[in-house]
Amino acid sequence: MNTTSIRNLGIIAHIDAGKTTLSERILWKTGEVHKVGEVHNGAATMDHMDQERERGITIASAATQAQWHDHRLTLIDTPGHIDFSIEVERSLRVLDGAVAVFCAVAGVQPQSETVWRQAKRYNVPLIAFVNKMDRTGANFERVRHQLRDMLGANPVATVVPLGSEAQFDGLVDLVEQTVWAWDEKGTPTTRDWSAEEHLHYAAARETLVEQIAEVDDVVMEAYLSQTVSTQLLKEGLRRATLAQRAVVVLAGTAFKNKGIENLLNAVVDYLPSPMDRTNVIGHTDAGDEQIAPNRNEPVAGLVFKTVEHQHGNLAFVRLYRGTLKTGDKVLNPRTGDVLRVGRLAVVKVDSTEDVAQAFAGDIVGVVGWKNARTGDTIADERHVVELERLNIAEPVLAWRLVAKNGAEMSKMVAALDKLCRDDPSLRLTSDTESGDPVLWGMGELHLDVTTERVRRDTGAVFSVGEPMVAYRERPTVASGLVDEKLAKQTGGKGQYARVVVVMEPRNDDQIVFVDEIVGGVVGKEFIQATEKGVREALTNGVHEYPVVGATVRLVDGDTHNVDSSAQAFQRAGFLAAKSALARAQSVVLEPIMAVTVDTPSAYVGDVVSDAQRRSGVLVNLDDNGSVGQIVFNAPLAQLGGYTTSLRSVSQGRASSSMVLHGYEPQRVAPKTGLRA
Ligand code: GDP
């Protein structure tokens, strides 16, 4: 397949907008599945896990291949819930373009805004699909305006919906000048505009041409000389989409199978192929290089997902450069492992199909790599590059997991280890006091889904302890000189080290060690040992939380030519950092979440007072008399059970999302802390 005929695309949406149904219909229309499963009764093909079926949400991204008009589409499913935003991030990294699905009734919702912004950050060209045109209250124009007003997009509607709500049954295509209609089974018919329709839609088409001319010089020139052909218009719209100067807006109903063909055509016409990706950068020892999708150059690929599969581990790789063949050897720069490409597989809806090779631009599964993790690069051994790692949010919430007995504990931990490898936004540590495993994640739902999965997959019996919040601590003033001398002379070889350090607060979250030793009073090896001790001390500060934002300068020291050792300097560094931190008035920081709530206006007052009870600080309140949006910042420690209480406050009608806003000095003393 020619690389220009490849479309690696994602479907992004607010939960419930219809992403799963749409993915399903795309696979049906492209002939990949023969029976349409309904999300209603939990049979959607793209949802792999039972749990997802039950919850009706799509958690894990699956990459599935389909064909449309001589083009190969690889559909990368992305989750709607922000708690799984790592899944969104990783798919945005590897896909080239995306379809953003909006509900024609609910319009732009908070999570669609978040995901939209993420897509912008990764420079992903987008097409908007206004779904659920069949529902009562559907309003295409309103969503189009929201795209402009709320998301700052330049929406270009290429269709006019015919009929609305239950009567929605067709689309006028303003580009091709055709009319589409669908019967009850979703079978389309299409015809050219009649003379009457030419007159009727002339103004709408003119507006479309003007809109494109405004963002594309070639179309502008043709427009001025009155020579805009359909082909030229499509090319202009493609350029504008790729440059993110326009977003094509389409309409339809996935559920009733209308408008899917137009969307697929638009994917082919307007969304980028891997050849259009010019922003992929690789780091090498000789500096950064641009990774062009050339088949004949050294291999560079990104592992963006690893899953357990019936034939062993399956690593999904997006190949950015080169050719990967079975039998090849590639390097994982993170681990230094040389990996053999045993089996290559392409994932279809119900099967995996072996292939002998994969090329730049392809997404391919590699079977059998045990230690490859999400975010790893694979590279040619003779030309090592490392691709940008995924932008992974720090886990902020943790649950202590208490297994019923030793056997249950082993089952549980083995399953959790596996899940942590697949999802880098999960982390497993252990509680220093009880020794219980502690699972960190990005929020309640994330932890809930993960532990449920462990229960279901392994049958392990365990309970969940009090939720714990990831506190940190940070120095607030300079410590002044701290002189730490370790001198033990108890017969035989002694232990001698002296270090003088200063600790200063930083504006960022880094720990920086600066060697300011002059005249070699402390040797290189001992300086390294001191740094090790300093860093070790700061993993667990005076309040027993990890320390962030400190510069430690080693300004002086002393060595004994017999009694000094690396060990002694490490110990001295450790002790010096501990006392410097105490003198630098280290304070506890807590995670503050930005919470966005959408609710019918009737509940705005209750939502706000509930937020205030949780020490929330109001950031924004919009209320148009029918629906309201409230944004507030609150300490994570005060947000336990928030979704449940929101549901009861609003009789289930409000929805919320939360993301980490930042760390701030603690307002209320912690009930339970977490010792990392
Ligand atoms: P997701 O959460 O975005 O994956 O959304 P789903 O595909 O699970 O759809 C959510 C609900 O909306 C399900 O009950 C679907 O049957 C329903 N739905 C999806 N598309 C449409 C549509 O075009 N019209 C109507 N009326 N309902 C739809």
Q: What's the rounded Cα separation, in Å, for the pair 109 and 533? A: 49
Of 11-15, 64-68, 186-190, the least confident: 11-15
Burial 473-487 (b: 16+ CB within 10 A, else e): bbbeeebeebebebe
Which residue out of 75, 165, 255 has the highest number of ligand 1 atoms within 8 Å of its CB and is therefore the one to mutate?
255
Q: How confident is the model at residue 126 (pLDDT cuts 50, 70, 90)?
A: very high
pLDDT of residue 17: 85
pLDDT tens, residue by residue, 227-263: 899 999 999 999 999 999 999 999 999 999 999 999 9
Q: Rounded to the nearest 10 degrees, how much is the dihedral formed by the CA atoms of 334, 573, 666, 435?
A: 60
Confidence (pTM)? 0.71
281-284 and 386-387 as β-strands: parallel, antiparallel, unpaired?
Answer: antiparallel
Question: 40 C-alpha to center of ligand 1: Å?
Answer: 8
Ligand 1 nearest atom to the CA of residue 14, by list position:
3
- Closest Cα to atom 14, ligand 1: which residue? 40
- Give all strands (DSSP E) within 159-208, no chain letters: 159-162, 170-173, 178-182, 188-192
- Residue 505, ligand 1, Cβ within 6 A: no
Q: What's the rounded Cα separation, in Å, for the pair 438 and 632? A: 29
- Residue 18, ligand 1, Cβ within 6 A: yes
| Mean pLDDT across 313-319 | 88
Which residue out of 11, 14, 21 has the highest number of ligand 1 atoms within 8 Å of its CB and is therefore the one to mutate?
21
Q: What's the rounded Cα separation, in Å, for the pair 317 and 360? A: 11
Question: 65 C-alpha to center of ligand 1: Å?
Answer: 22
pLDDT of residue 464: 92
Question: 17 C-alpha to center of ligand 1: Å?
Answer: 6
Specify which residues 188 forms β-bridges with: 182
Q: What's the rounded Cα separation, in Å, for the pair 145 and 159? A: 15
Question: 190 C-alpha to center of ligand 1: Å?
Answer: 26
pLDDT of residue 238: 97
Ligand 1 nearest atom to the CA of residue 56, by list position:
8
Question: 21 C-alpha to center of ligand 1: Å?
Answer: 6
pLDDT of residue 652: 74
pLDDT of residue 659: 75
Other beta carbons within 10 angstroms of residue 122's beta carbon come to: 16
pLDDT of residue 349: 66
Say yes or no to pLDDT of 205 above 60: yes
Which residue out of 12, 15, 16 has the highest number of ligand 1 atoms within 8 Å of its CB and is therefore the one to mutate?
16
Looking up tokens 């270090």 gives: 499
Largest CA distance in the chain: 107
Which residue out of 26, 39, 140, 253 has the highest number of ligand 1 atoms within 8 Å of its CB and is therefore the one to mutate?
39
| 231 or 64, which is more confident | 231
| Mean pLDDT across 221-225 | 94
pLDDT of residue 563: 85
- Residue 45, ligand 1, Cβ within 6 A: no
pLDDT tens, residue by residue, 323-346: 999 999 999 998 899 999 989 988
Q: Report percent pLDDT > 70 for the chain.
A: 89
- Closest Cα to atom 6, ligand 1: which residue? 18
Question: 76 C-alpha to center of ligand 1: Å?
Answer: 18
550-558 and 511-515 as β-strands: parallel, antiparallel, unpaired?
Answer: parallel
pLDDT of residue 82: 47
pLDDT of residue 656: 78
Q: What's the rounded Cα separation, in Å, for the pair 148 and 370? A: 46
Q: What's the rounded Cα separation, in Å, for the pair 241 and 224? A: 22
- Residue 90, ligand 1, Cβ within 6 A: no
| Mean pLDDT across 93-99 | 90
Angle at 200 between CA 195 and CA 205, to 5 degrees: 100
Say yes or no to pLDDT of 392 above 80: no
> In terms of Cα–Cα distance, which of 76, 155, 151, 154 is closest to 114?
151
Cα Rg of the chain, angstroms: 29
Ligand 1 nearest atom to the CA of residue 135, by list position:
26
> In terms of Cα–Cα distance, which of 80, 82, 121, 122 is closest to 103?
80
- Structure-block tokens of residue 74: 């690889």
| 78 or 202, which is more confident | 202
Question: 52 C-alpha to center of ligand 1: Å?
Answer: 14
On average, the pLDDT of the chain sits at 86
- Closest Cα to atom 25, ligand 1: which residue? 132
> How is residue 106 annotated by DSSP?
T
pLDDT of residue 393: 67
Question: 6 C-alpha to center of ligand 1: Å?
Answer: 27
Say yes or no to pLDDT of 675 above 90: no
**Which amino acid belongs to residue 358?**
A
Q: What's the rounded Cα separation, in Å, for the pair 37 and 147? A: 30
pLDDT of residue 653: 76
Other beta carbons within 10 angstroms of residue 142's beta carbon come to: 15
Of 18-22, 481-485, 529-533, the least confident: 18-22
- Residue 111, ligand 1, Cβ within 6 A: no
- Residue 132, ligand 1, Cβ within 6 A: yes
Q: What's the rounded Cα separation, in Å, for the pair 599 and 652? A: 9
Ligand 1 nearest atom to the CA of residue 131, by list position:
23
- Residue 26, ligand 1, Cβ within 6 A: no
Say yes or no to pLDDT of 213 above 60: yes
Q: Report percent pLDDT > 90 for the chain.
A: 55
503 neighbors 482 (Cβ within 8 angstroms): yes
Q: How confident is the model at residue 448 (pLDDT cuts 50, 70, 90)?
A: confident
| Mean pLDDT across 371-376 | 83
- Residue 131, ligand 1, Cβ within 6 A: yes
- Residue 255, ligand 1, Cβ within 6 A: yes
Ligand 1 nearest atom to the CA of residue 57, by list position:
2
> In terms of Cα–Cα distance, which of 462, 458, 466, 498 is closest to 482?
498
- Residue 16, ligand 1, Cβ within 6 A: yes
pLDDT of residue 44: 52
Question: 19 C-alpha to center of ligand 1: Å?
Answer: 7
Of 79-83, 177-181, 324-328, 578-582, the least confident: 79-83
Question: 20 C-alpha to center of ligand 1: Å?
Answer: 7
| Mean pLDDT across 485-492 | 78
Question: 244 C-alpha to center of ligand 1: Å?
Answer: 28
Those residues whose C-beta lies under 8 Å from the C-beta of residue 396, and which sit 6 or more positions away, are: 440, 442, 443, 469, 470, 591, 593, 636, 660
Ligand 1 nearest atom to the CA of residue 256, by list position:
23
pLDDT tens, residue by residue, 395-429: 888 999 999 999 999 999 999 988 887 777 888 99
Angle at 391 between CA 388 and CA 397, to 5 degrees: 150
pLDDT of residue 390: 67
> How is residue 163 annotated by DSSP?
S
User: For residue 187, is it left (φ>0), alpha (ψ between -120 and 50) or beta?
Assistant: beta
- Closest Cα to atom 24, ligand 1: which residue? 132
Q: Rounded to the nearest 10 degrees, how much is the dihedral formed by the CA atoms of 658, 659, 663, 668?
A: 10
Which CA distances in Å does 239 have to 52, 242, 248, 587, 645?
A: 37, 5, 12, 52, 47
- Closest Cα to atom 19, ligand 1: which residue? 18
Which CA distances in Å does 267 have to 20, 23, 253?
A: 17, 13, 17
pLDDT tens, residue by residue, 625-663: 777 889 999 998 898 888 888 888 888 777 777 777 888
Q: What's the rounded Cα separation, in Å, for the pair 390 and 260? A: 32
- Residue 655, ligand 1, Cβ within 6 A: no
DSSP 548-588: -SEEEEEEEEE--TTT--HHHHHHHHHHHHHHHHHHTT-EE
Those residues whose C-beta lies under 8 Å from the C-beta of residue 640, and which sit 6 or more positions away, are: 444, 467
- Residue 58, ligand 1, Cβ within 6 A: yes
- Structure-block tokens of residue 272: 């980028």
- Structure-block tokens of residue 478: 């300079």
Phi/psi of residue 302, each to 5°?
A: -120, 125
